[in-house]
């Protein structure tokens, strides 16, 4: 193929450092005209940072970006757009109450002589753009009347409206249905024919092998390999993606066989998940792995009573319990530490001790009146257990550092004396040192007889911490792995839905 | 030690009220005579009671614009009851007023909770509906002092330990709400729901139900004030207390209750109401036009909001190790 042609865009030895983290370490990425390059890597491999550097949102600390072989620097996002690089983001940023044409041209609409927006010109230009990508709807329709797939087409049209040469698609199929995905593939073909260079970020191996011409693999912010898709198979690509050089040390644990604490039978939801069956033993850490959008968090929210399952039974210590609200869940000894701790964790404005005692007010009050002394006692006990660093327990929780706020959230839950604790992405966005502390702490909780459900997208964490792992895909349990069957390769295969026959060959 | 427990915001507002009193007393020293201050307090009592209910609602990230209409409707209903059944004892009248007000609050609360309609729209709607109902039941007629029984109109004015019952009811409400907000699970939920509704859900607090209860409380207080108001002024008609809801909201805002929810205190609401009460009573005494009074109240709102916005601005993250502990 055109291997010796000059790439449209080339990132050469790009490095980007954030305080405490090297997000990208001298990575290499070339994008060629009329070709789809798949960027592959686990969470945290540096894919999003790459996109942000290419679109001018981040400024690299080192290395060179070349366009047609000429070094360039992007001072801001507009500079990248002027150079013909556009991105279609995971969550498309569009305006529901505007028409399709207005969405496409917002910010750069054609003007009349008087400086007003030239509606006719805008509509005909939008019509042409939509036709080019095979969209059949009228540019005058309101965006909110379109389905997700068509909204996506609008986002693509908007990206193309600035005369793009490079189109970045960041997990474009994550939220689409099967049929919509097919339409997207056709669109990618159309863009290829128009000579665009496409960077395609995806976790799904079937689509990578179907539409990509080249691959580039990042791991932990470093460049691992690149080449032509036709010269690699799925196994080799998985190997490149997960193969690890540095092993993070996880706490030693001796799994003890104990009685079942929680039994979930046939949990289902009309649109989010189905047929969820599993048991959880006392003192066990059960990992839930899957791609983003596999339905893990949705299921956990239902188990915690935030959303109602349409079917399914939940048994705690052998007896059937109905959980229809978070208050029911807490009363039954199930607590949930959500992923977005800033939004769902602490209550800024309340002092530390009140944050900790909030779900336990039933125990700290007497005949309807709260007893502050009891609350303080409870808060002190659990904050000492977690080694919380705070000047005093009646200071506002908002003054604490992120790590200490997280401790407050965990102390809050432990104070309810739960049997099952659900941790959703417990180490997302925290540095290596704090990660190790969280892992230690999880092991300690399990040691004390608490059952832990850990939802995680980080393969080393899932493997290092879990006694058993349930892999979810498309809202169903794809596999339950344990012991020797638990390896990075098997996890990725099950999560990405690589077929069983191929696995046997491997 | 004691000073440490008086929050800065309430301290400043309290000082502002004292300065205001001081300035007025330069022109007219009689204003700060205890008897006159007691009159000012009594005059502000309805505002204090309503501001406490409004405070709870605002803390849960809602707003109740229907309080004044609720007050007027309850006032009209109890006045008509009094005309029809002059022998009805005052405790029964009080119970009816509180229950009726709570029911109207419950309507607001249910619409916000179950239908998820924005509170400002709900209460704007019920406000108009309540006023309309007053017109329908009274046929637009006034109920005047001579039609009401003396027990009915005399209750709020009866002196007890040197203060009228109206003042005592306000004081009792302040105490009850003070205890409720600081020492009961409901009070804590109110702060949690306003401070971080998402986190409140995960804590097992029902956000909608808490907001519903806030509206019920606000409605009950509006109902109570409805009777007291009609008894005090000895007249009931469609337009009583029209526009008073904005004064109630203003008292809360001046008192440092954050319109964004989650931040505020009983002390703040009371001081906010007292500030407005002092302004209203002092200006005529020193011969300042009532139009200045509007301008001063308005400025006070803006100053209070600007001040709170500055104080509430996050100080940024402490990243530098050397800065830790210095904030």
Q: Do A347 and B195 touch (CB under 8 A)?
A: yes
In chain A, what percentage of residues exceed pLDDT 90? Answer: 6
What are B60-104's pLDDT values in tens digits? Answer: 999 999 999 999 999 999 999 999 998 899 999 999 999 999 999
**Closest to A471 (Cα-Cα) out of A347, A337, A208, A295:** A295
Average pLDDT of A319-338?
Answer: 87
Taking residues B174-194, report their average pLDDT: 91
Using 50, 70 and 90 to split pLDDT, how confident is the model at A408?
confident
Strands A197-201 and A166-170: parallel
- How far apart are the CA of B188 and the nearest CA of chain A, in angstroms? 8
Token pair, residue B325, equals 């502990």
- The answer to whether A303 touches A334, Cβ cutoff 8 Å, is yes
- Domain made up of A9-242: CATH architecture: 3-Layer(aba) Sandwich (3.40)
CA–CA separation, A284 vs A396, rounded Å? 35
* C-alpha to C-alpha distance for A370 and A351, rounded to whole angstroms: 15
Return the ∠ at Cα B122 (arms to B135 and B99), rounded to 5°. 60
Under DSSP, the state recorded for A34 is T
pLDDT at B313 (0 to 100): 53
Contact assignment for A327 to B263 by CB distance below 8 Å: no
Residue B45 · residue B170 · CB < 8 Å: yes
The answer to whether B263 faces chain A, any CB pair under 8 Å, is yes
What whole-number distance in Å separates Cα of residue A484 and Cα of residue B195? 47
**Nearest to B50, CA basis, from B323, B251, B190:** B251
Contact flag A398-B206 (C-beta cutoff 8 Å) = no
Minimal Cα–Cα distance from B244 to chain A, Å?
A: 30
Cα B155 to the chain's mean position, in Å? 21
pLDDT for B198-214, tens place per residue? Answer: 888 888 889 999 999 99
Q: Average pLDDT in the A441-451 region?
A: 85
Residue B218 CA to residue B101 CA, distance in Å, equals 8
Q: Does B320 touch chain A (CB under 8 A)?
A: no
pLDDT at position B311: 60
Q: Which of B194, B202, B263 sits opposite A336 (nearest CB)?
A: B202
Mutate to test the interface with A, among B194, B199, B326 (most CBs of A within 10 A): B199
Q: Which of B8, B183, B196, B317 to mutate to test the interface with A (most CBs of A within 10 A)?
A: B196
State the pLDDT at residue A430: 63
Q: What are phi and psi of A420, to 5 degrees?
A: -125, 130
Which residues from A are below 8 Å from B317, CB to CB?
Answer: 401-402
Judge whether B203 is closer than 8 Å to chain A, CB to CB.
yes
B5 touches chain A (CB under 8 A): no
Residue-level pLDDT at A244: 54
In chain A, the residue whose alpha carbon lies closest to the alpha carbon of B180 is A369
Higher pLDDT, A245 or B168: B168
Q: Does B200 touch chain A (CB under 8 A)?
A: yes
Q: Dump pLDDT digits (tens) for A264-285.
A: 888 888 888 888 889 898 888 9
Reduce the DSSP state of residue A1 to 3 states and report it: coil
Q: ipTM of this model? A: 0.71
Best CA proximity match to A93, nearest among A142, A15, A152, A32: A152
Chosen for mutation from B8, B202, B259, B321 (greatest number of chain A CBs closer than 10 Å) is B202
Inter-chain residue contact B206 with A327, CB threshold 8 Å:
yes
Q: How far apart are CA A456 and CA A296, in angstroms?
A: 9
For residue range B279-307, list pLDDT tens digits in order.
Answer: 888 888 888 887 887 788 788 888 877 87
Mean of the per-residue pLDDT values of chain B = 88
- CB-side neighbour CA atoms (13 Å) of A395: 14
CB contact under 8 A, A358 and B325: no
| A361-385 mean pLDDT | 83
Of the residues A323, A358, A402, A416, the best mutation for testing chain B's interface (the one with the most B CB atoms within 10 Å of its CB) is A358
> Does B199 contact A345 at a Cβ distance shorter than 8 Å?
yes
Average pLDDT over residues A328-342: 81
**Which residues of A make CB contacts under 8 Å with B?**
19, 304, 306, 325-327, 329-331, 336, 338, 340, 343-350, 354, 358-359, 361-362, 365, 368-370, 372, 391, 398-399, 401-402, 412
Q: What percent of chain B has pLDDT over 70?
A: 92
pLDDT above 60 (res A423): yes
Neighbours of A43 (CB within 10 A): 15
Nearest alpha carbon to residue A94 among A137, A165, A145: A145
Round the CA-based radius of gyration of chain B to a whole number and report it.
21
In angstroms, what separates the C-alpha of A358 from chain B's closest C-alpha?
Answer: 7
In angstroms, how far is the first alpha carbon of chain A from the final one? 29
Q: Please report the DSSP string for B195-220 in residue order.
A: H-HHHHHHTT--HHHHHHHHHHHHHH
Task: Give the model's pLDDT for residue B2.
Answer: 43
Query: pLDDT for A202-218, tens place per residue?
Result: 877 778 888 899 999 98
Q: Which residue of A has its CA nearest to B261?
A: A349
- What is the percent of chain A with per-residue pLDDT over 70, rounded to a whole number? 90
The residue in chain A having the minimum alpha-carbon distance to the alpha carbon of residue B188 is: A358
pLDDT higher than 50, residue B319:
no
In this predicted model, what pLDDT tens digit does every residue of A76-125 receive, in sequence order? 877 888 888 888 765 556 788 888 888 888 877 778 888 888 888 888 98
- SS3 label, residue A241: helix
Best probe of the B interface among A330, A335, A343, A349, by most B CBs < 10 A, is A349
Label the pairing between strands A260-268 and A311-316: antiparallel
- Taking residue B165's Cβ as centre, other Cβ atoms within 10 Å add up to 20
Interface contact flag, A349 B195, Cβ < 8 Å: yes
Is the pTM here over 0.90, yes or no? no
Give yes or no for B325 touching A (CB within 8 A).
yes
Separation CA A223–CA A15 (nearest Å): 11
The rounded distance, in Å, linking the Cα atoms of A24 and A53 is 10
Binned at pLDDT 50, 70 and 90, residue A501 comes out as very low
**Separation of alpha carbons A342 and A169, rounded Å:** 28
Q: Which residue of B has its CA nearest to A362?
A: B185
- Per DSSP, what are the bridge partners of residue A30? A10
Q: Looking at the partner chain, which of A331, A338, A354 has a beta carbon nearest the beta carbon of B202?
A: A338
Calculate how close chain A gets to B202, using CA atoms only, in Å.
Answer: 6
Question: Which residues from chain A sit within 8 angstroms of residue B182, using beta carbons?
Answer: 370
For residue A171, pLDDT beyond 90: no
Residues of B in contact with A344 (CB under 8 A): 196, 198-199, 201-202
On whether the CB atoms of residues A400 and B327 are closer than 8 A, the answer is no
**Distance from C-alpha of B67 to C-alpha of B63, rounded to nearest angstrom:** 10
Which DSSP string corresponds to A108-175?
S--B-TTSSB-HHHHHHHHHHHHHHTT--S-TTSBGGGS-HHHHHHHHHHHHHTT--SEEEEESTTTT
- Residues of A within 8 A of B327 (CB-CB) are 399
- Least confident interval from A145-149, A338-342, B232-236, B305-309: A338-342
Mean pLDDT of B170-194: 92
DSSP code of A249?
P
Strands A311-316 and A334-337, bridge-based pairing: unpaired
Q: From B204, which residue of chain A is nearest by alpha-carbon distance? A: A327
């Amino acid at each position: 193929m055109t291997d010796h042609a000059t790439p449209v865009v080339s990132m050469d030895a790009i490095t980007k450092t954030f305080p405490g983290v090297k997000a990208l370490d001298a990575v290499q990425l070339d994008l060629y005209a009329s070709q789809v390059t798949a960027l592959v890597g686990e969470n945290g491999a540096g894919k999003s940072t790459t996109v942000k550097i290419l679109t001018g949102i981040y400024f690299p600390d080192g290395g060179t970006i070349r366009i047609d072989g000429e070094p360039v620097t992007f001072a801001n996002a507009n500079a990248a757009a002027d150079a013909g690089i556009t991105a279609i983001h995971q969550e498309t940023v569009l305006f529901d109450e505007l028409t399709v044409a207005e969405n496409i041209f917002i910010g750069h609409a054609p003007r009349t002589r008087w400086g007003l927006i030239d509606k006719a010109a805008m509509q005909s230009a939008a019509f042409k753009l939509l036709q080019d990508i095979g969209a059949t709807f009228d540019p005058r329709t309101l965006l909110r009347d379109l389905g997700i797939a068509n909204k996506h087409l609008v986002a693509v049209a908007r990206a193309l409206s600035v005369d793009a040469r490079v189109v970045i698609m960041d997990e474009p199929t994550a939220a689409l249905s099967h049929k919509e995905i097919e339409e997207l593939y056709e669109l990618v073909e159309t863009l290829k024919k128009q000579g665009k260079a496409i960077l395609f970020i995806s976790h799904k191996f079937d689509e990578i092998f179907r539409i990509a011409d080249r691959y580039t693999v990042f791991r932990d912010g470093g460049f691992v390999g690149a080449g032509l898709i036709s010269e690699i198979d799925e196994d080799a690509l998985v190997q490149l993606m997960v193969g690890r050089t540095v092993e993070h040390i996880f706490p030693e644990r001796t799994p003890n066989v104990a009685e079942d604490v929680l039994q979930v039978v046939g949990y289902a939801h009309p649109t989010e998940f189905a047929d969820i069956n599993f048991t959880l033993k006392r003192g066990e850490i059960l990992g839930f792995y899957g791609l983003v959008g596999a339905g893990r968090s949705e299921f956990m929210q239902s188990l915690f009573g935030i959303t109602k399952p349409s079917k399914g039974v939940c048994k705690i210590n052998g007896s059937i319990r109905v959980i229809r609200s978070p208050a029911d869940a807490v009363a039954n000894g199930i607590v949930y530490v959500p992923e977005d701790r800033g939004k769902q964790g602490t209550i800024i404005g309340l002092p530390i001790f009140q944050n900790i005692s909030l779900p336990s007010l039933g125990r700290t009050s007497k005949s309807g009146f709260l007893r502050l002394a009891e609350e303080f006692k409870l808060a002190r006990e659990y904050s000492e257990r977690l080694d919380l660093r705070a000047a005093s327990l009646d200071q506002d929780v908002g003054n604490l550092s992120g790590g200490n706020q997280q401790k407050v959230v965990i102390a809050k839950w432990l104070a309810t004396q739960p049997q099952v604790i659900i941790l959703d992405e417990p180490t997302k966005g925290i540095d290596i040192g704090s990660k190790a502390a969280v892992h230690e702490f999880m092991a300690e909780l399990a040691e004390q007889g608490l059952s832990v459900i850990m939802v995680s997208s980080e393969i080393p964490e899932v493997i290092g911490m879990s006694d058993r792992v349930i892999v979810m895909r498309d809202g169903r349990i794809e596999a339950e792995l344990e012991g020797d069957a638990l390896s990075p390769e098997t996890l990725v295969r099950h999560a990405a839905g690589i077929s069983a026959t191929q696995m046997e060959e491997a | 030690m004691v000073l440490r427990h008086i929050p800065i915001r309430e301290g400043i507002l309290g000082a502002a009220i004292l300065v205001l009193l001081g300035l007025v007393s330069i022109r007219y020293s009689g204003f700060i005579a205890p008897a006159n201050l007691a009159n000012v307090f009594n005059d502000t009592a309805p505002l204090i009671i309503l501001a406490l209910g409004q405070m709870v609602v605002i803390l849960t990230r809602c707003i109740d614009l229907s309080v004044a209409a609720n007050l007027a409707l309850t006032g009209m209903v109890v006045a008509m009851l009094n005309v029809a059944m002059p022998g009805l004892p005052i405790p029964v009248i009080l119970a009816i007023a509180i229950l009726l007000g709570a029911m109207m609050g419950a309507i607001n609360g249910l619409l916000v909770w179950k239908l998820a309609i924005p509170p400002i729209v709900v209460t704007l709607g019920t406000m108009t509906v309540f006023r309309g109902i007053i017109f329908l039941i009274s046929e637009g007629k006034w109920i005047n002092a001579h039609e009401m029984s003396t027990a009915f109109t005399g209750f709020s004015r009866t002196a007890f330990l040197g203060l009228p019952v109206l003042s005592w009811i306000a004081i009792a409400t302040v105490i009850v709400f003070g205890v409720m907000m600081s020492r009961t699970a409901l009070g804590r939920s109110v702060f949690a729901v306003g401070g971080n509704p998402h986190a409140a859900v995960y804590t097992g607090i029902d956000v909608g139900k808490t907001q519903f209860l806030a509206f019920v409380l606000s409605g009950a207080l509006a109902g109570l004030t409805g009777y007291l108001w009609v008894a005090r002024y000895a007249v009931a008609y469609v337009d009583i207390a029209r526009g008073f809801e904005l004064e109630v909201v203003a008292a809360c805002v001046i008192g440092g209750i954050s319109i964004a929810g989650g931040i505020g205190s009983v002390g703040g609401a009371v001081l906010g109401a007292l500030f407005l009460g002092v302004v209203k009573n002092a200006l005529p005494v020193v011969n300042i036009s009532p139009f200045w009074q509007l301008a001063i109240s308005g400025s006070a709102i803006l100053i209070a909001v600007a001040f709170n916005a500055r104080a509430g601005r996050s100080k940024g993250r402490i990243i530098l190790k050397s800065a830790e502990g210095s904030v």
